[in-house]
Amino acid sequence: MSEDIPYEVRRAQEINHMFGPKDSDEAFDLIFDLHNTTSNMGGTLILENSRNNFTIQMFHYIKNALAPECCPVFLTEHPNLKYATTRSIAKHPVGVEVGPQPQGVLRADILDKMRKIIKHGLDFVHIFNEGKEFPPCTIEVYKIMEKVDYPRNKNGEITAVIHPHLQDQDWQPLNKGDPIFLTIDVHTVIYHGLERSLWKIQNGHQRNLNNFTRRRKYYILHWCIGFVQNAQNRANCYSPFSFVFSLLLCGLKSLDQQ
């Protein structure tokens, strides 16, 4: 491996070698990728593929186990806005994002929420490995729809903050005409984008869930790296690079597993 490549690239290659290679039979079956966040997301599960029936069943199990506590599911599947993740090396990647928690602070309630999500996820794996079959299920997901940049001046510098009516309102509806930003000269910027929509999609893939390899090859990958967080709407996303200063908007849908 060349010493001239950036650290992040080199580390990604090392992780791919440890737990992959990606898209190969040797890749790990399951990776839990754990993140804390400054965003008011609560305990959020991140789904990368709407056709991954094993992960959909797991999320359904976790959500039922946590009820009545809310556990949103964020579907990052999008042709242009999907971002790369380490967990995608596994056949069944599971992202867990829990907040709000300030940088450099460990909150007991956030830690407890993370532990509960992972416990129920591992319980599901244990039950699955014992041969239990699961009937078709449906889960609600928030699907990424749009990325909105902060207002900027001619030098590319951010000139606004999140509007107080939107601040900390993760997973709440944002409608056309709602305030979204407040500029430094106290001017309200409203949302001119997509209308709010709710729709149902039938997942037409008939798969035998028990085809999942039961060799107990799963791994909990614990990353508590605090990236600068995006502004809040119905879901927040993070990235050390391209998504640091942007607002990601998503729509609510129902996702079926058959």
Which residues are identified as catalytic?
A: 97
Contact 46, 77 (CB under 8 A): no
- The residues pairing with 160 across neighbouring beta strands, listed in sequence order, are 183
Alpha-carbon distance of 97 to 117, in angstroms, equals 10
CA contacts within 13 A on the Cβ side of 211:
8
Alpha-carbon distance of 45 to 73, in angstroms, equals 5
Contact 125, 218 (CB under 8 A): yes
Contact 53, 205 (CB under 8 A): yes
Alpha-carbon distance of 238 to 245, in angstroms, equals 9
Contact 53, 112 (CB under 8 A): no
HEC per residue, 184-226: CCCCEEECCCCCCCEEEECCCCCCCHHHCCCCCCEEEEECCCC
Tokens for 212, please give them.
């999942």
Radius of gyration, alpha carbons of the chain: 19
